[in-house]
Chain A
């Protein structure tokens, strides 16, 4: 018996449409999140993550409909993040059919939000999303890693490793670790960052940022990741879920 390494595609959703380039030949409408979710499910995705990047209130309402339509048709776990600021937001998403909720900025602004969500819904619903990078400029932290906001453009002035550990204590059930230094490079995951977080938390860690080739995934798991997440490489068809799993299996890791 063995727990499998999870391979998770992430879909950026804006006002009900998936954004970023998508290159699946078999899709009639590559911008339809439900159809894309179904495709990823058929390819063997272990979970799906929707990241709501809508700026408007109307856009967020549409995302709720997307979550609901997806949960009606796709029977694997669904995580939704982006713009979650309150226990009420979480409740709405769970009722729409989400299984887990990712929080980021709102938890930085008010860490008690983590405990409030965990107390009400259990820590298994709560994913803490951390955008981390090596300290730049004047900023210095004990670990050398800091938390960023605004898509990696601003420093939050917080130690990324200490923040992950504190969130776990407050009740987060999982850490979604976005490596901002590696993000978009397609040179591979930030193994040093994964190791640093793994050493400090005992909840599952999802590694994100930097994947570009099938052989990039096994080292992330060796460094301590329980799951691996990617967006662009899956959307563009550079990598398929099956290829990633084959590479993990070839490295001796259990996959579904």
Chain B
């Protein structure tokens, strides 16, 4: 069987080279593009993102990226958001008191982290729920985070009629070095075809490589 195809969505500047290389290493054929058709046809779509929420949404809209994401998801086709690429999947981002509308794939807002030291920068542990595909084979590993904003409330409504494969699995992390004292935020979500990480798997060494392999294997 040929390797699954992945598009890394190019909608602005930033370090995309590492994302491309890391997903290639995970076993996919990777194309870096902002082209709508290519992004719709790929087996997997990776949405990166660094910098401000508003600037990212502006860049994303310029290539109709929010429609690419929505169309893929309505067809059950996998999408992985990373860092601000995860944040823009939510309803809105609030920066300096101003709200910017996001893609709205998940309810909830992205807010400034409430911590003595921001950005939250470095290798943190994560609290993974059981039975996830993304974290399969990864235990007690740290991931690399660098962000000043986060999602502190998970609000998606599901019930027991939601198929198990689409029940959201939410991974949490918290700021600071003293367990139980930091600001708690969403570190990763697995929700049917839509997955996302607040941390950078492409910068998280072997643990990140394993997570990306796990995702590529679902394609």
Contact = CB atoms under 8 A, between A and B. Distances in A.
Q: Do A and B bind each other?
A: yes
Interface of A: 1-6, 41, 46, 68, 71-72, 75-77, 91, 94-99, 120-125, 173-174, 202-204, 226-227, 253-254, 256
Given A75-B203, A75-B209, A76-B203, A97 B118 contact: no
A174 B13 contact: no
Contact of B118 (A6, A121, A203): A203
Interface stretch (B39-47, B102-110, B168-176, B189-197): B168-176
Contacts of A6: 122-123
Given A1-B173, A77-B203, A122-B51, A91 B121 contact: no
Given A75-B209, A99-B18, A124-B121, 17 more contacts: A2-B179, A4-B142, A5-B177, A75-B21, A75-B204, A76-B204, A95-B17, A97-B17, A120-B51, A121-B13, A121-B14, A122-B50, A122-B51, A123-B119, A125-B51, A173-B148, A256-B123
A3 B124 contact: yes
A221 to B, nearest CB: 9
Contacts of A91: 13
A247 to B, nearest CB: 16
Contacts of A46: 122-123
B122 A3 contact: yes
Nearest to A122: B51
Contacts of A76: 144, 203-205
Chain A CB within 10 A, most for which of B15, B175, B179, B203 = B15
Interface string B106-132: 000000000011111111111100000
A3 B200 CA distance: 15
Contacts of B174: 1
Contacts of A121: 13-14, 50-51
Interface residues of B, number: 45
B147 interface: yes
A1 B124 contact: yes
B178 interface: yes
A97 B176 CA distance: 28
A96 B50 CA distance: 15
Interface of B: 13-15, 17-18, 21-22, 25, 50-52, 55, 116-127, 142, 144, 146-148, 172-179, 182, 200, 202-205, 208-209
A124 to B, nearest CB: 5
A1 B125 contact: yes
B121 A204 contact: yes
Contact of A173 (B18, B119, B173, B208): B119
A198 B118 CA distance: 13
A97 B51 CA distance: 16
A116 to B, nearest CB: 13
Given A77-B144, A122-B50, A174 B17 contact: no
B127 A1 contact: yes
Nearest to B115: A202
B203 A4 contact: no
Given A1-B173, A41-B205, A256 B117 contact: no
Contacts of B202: 75
Nearest to A44: B205
Contact of B119 (A75, A77, A204): A204
Contacts of B148: 123-124, 173
Closest 3 pairs between A and B when the two form their complex, measured CB to CB: A122-B51, A97-B17, A256-B123
A91 B16 CA distance: 12
Contact of A202 (B22, B117, B203): B117
Contacts of B176: 2-3
Contact of B177 (A3, A71, A120, A125): A3
A99 B121 contact: no
Contacts of B50: 121-122, 124-125
B126 A1 contact: yes
A36 to B, nearest CB: 17
A174 B55 CA distance: 21
Contact of A1 (B13, B52, B55, B179): B179
Contacts of B173: 1
Given A76-B205, A99-B15, A173-B121, A2 B178 contact: yes
A95 B144 contact: no
B108 to A, nearest CB: 20
